[in-house]
């Protein structure tokens, strides 16, 4: 077997591309070696995966279906379902986003009625909406209330209603709560 030792590999002048091997070649990276990349690496195909995805010693895995799996200390490796979008906002007065991830804006449609607009659309409408609303119970003497997702889910947004329920018939009263938090799970 031949061996080449070098500190740097550079492309020929003007080409900008370095090709190592040809289709079907395998390159082995010994244990303990760290590869670093300050640019973009491409052309690696699907991520490698561990065939023992249910083994308790796996910390992080990408399975054959490209699902991220991990063992967070509970004794088994399982598929992770991510929060695709989240927002913490003040819905009272002028709507103001305090913090968010994958939320571009919020549309105020009226009292306790908001459209959460996603920066990057959901892959489909089969997501879950979770959240909480309320205000400071020490200052205002009241705590959170229901958050209702609109019946029509869209890939680019979700319409939600905030308010409170009262009476035995489950009546809903719309309220612009100063503390509203929404998460989109998919």
Query: What is the average pLDDT across 44-50?
Result: 47
Please state the φ and ψ torsions of residue 102, each to the nearest 5 degrees.
60, 30
As given in the structure block, the two tokens for residue 18 are 């370095």
Q: Does the structure show a pLDDT above 60 at 39?
A: no
Q: How many CB atoms lie within 10 A of CB 5?
A: 4
Query: What is the average pLDDT across 67-78?
Result: 78
The residue with greater pLDDT, 172 or 98, is: 98
HSE (CB half, 13 Å, CA atoms) of 114?
31
Alpha-carbon gap, residue 30 to 4, rounded angstroms: 15
For residues 186 and 81, the answer to whether their CB atoms sit within 8 Å is: yes
- Residue 106 is predicted with a pLDDT of 97
Closest CA to 108 of 125, 120, 96, 118: 96
- Residue 16 is predicted with a pLDDT of 64
Q: What is the pLDDT of residues 94-152, one digit of tens each?
A: 999 999 999 999 999 999 899 999 999 999 999 999 988 876 554 444 445 566 777 67
Q: Where are the domains of the chain?
A: 46-80, 83-185
Alpha-carbon gap, residue 107 to 87, rounded angstroms: 13
Query: What is the average pLDDT across 14-26?
Result: 68
Q: Indicate the pLDDT class of residue 70, thresholds 50, 70 and 90.
A: confident
Model-level pTM?
0.62
**The residue count for the chain:** 186
């Amino acid at each position: 077997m031949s061996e080449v030792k070098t500190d740097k590999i550079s492309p020929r002048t003007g080409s900008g591309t370095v090709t190592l091997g040809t289709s079907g070649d395998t390159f082995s990276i010994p244990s303990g070696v760290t590869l670093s990349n300050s640019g973009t690496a491409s052309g690696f195909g699907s991520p490698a995966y561990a065939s023992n995805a249910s083994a308790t010693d796996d910390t992080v895995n990408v399975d054959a279906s490209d699902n991220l799996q991990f063992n967070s200390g509970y004794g088994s490796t399982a598929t992770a379902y991510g929060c695709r979008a989240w927002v913490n906002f003040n819905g009272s007065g002028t709507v103001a986003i305090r913090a968010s991830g994958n939320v571009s804006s919020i549309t105020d449609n009226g009292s306790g009625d908001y459209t959460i607009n996603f920066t990057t659309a959901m892959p489909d409408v089969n997501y879950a909406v979770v959240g909480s609303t309320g205000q400071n119970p020490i200052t205002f003497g009241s705590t959170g209330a229901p958050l209702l997702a609109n019946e029509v889910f869209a890939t680019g947004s979700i319409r939600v209603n905030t308010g409170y329920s009262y009476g035995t018939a489950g009546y809903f009263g719309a309220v612009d709560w100063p503390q509203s938090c929404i998460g989109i799970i998919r």
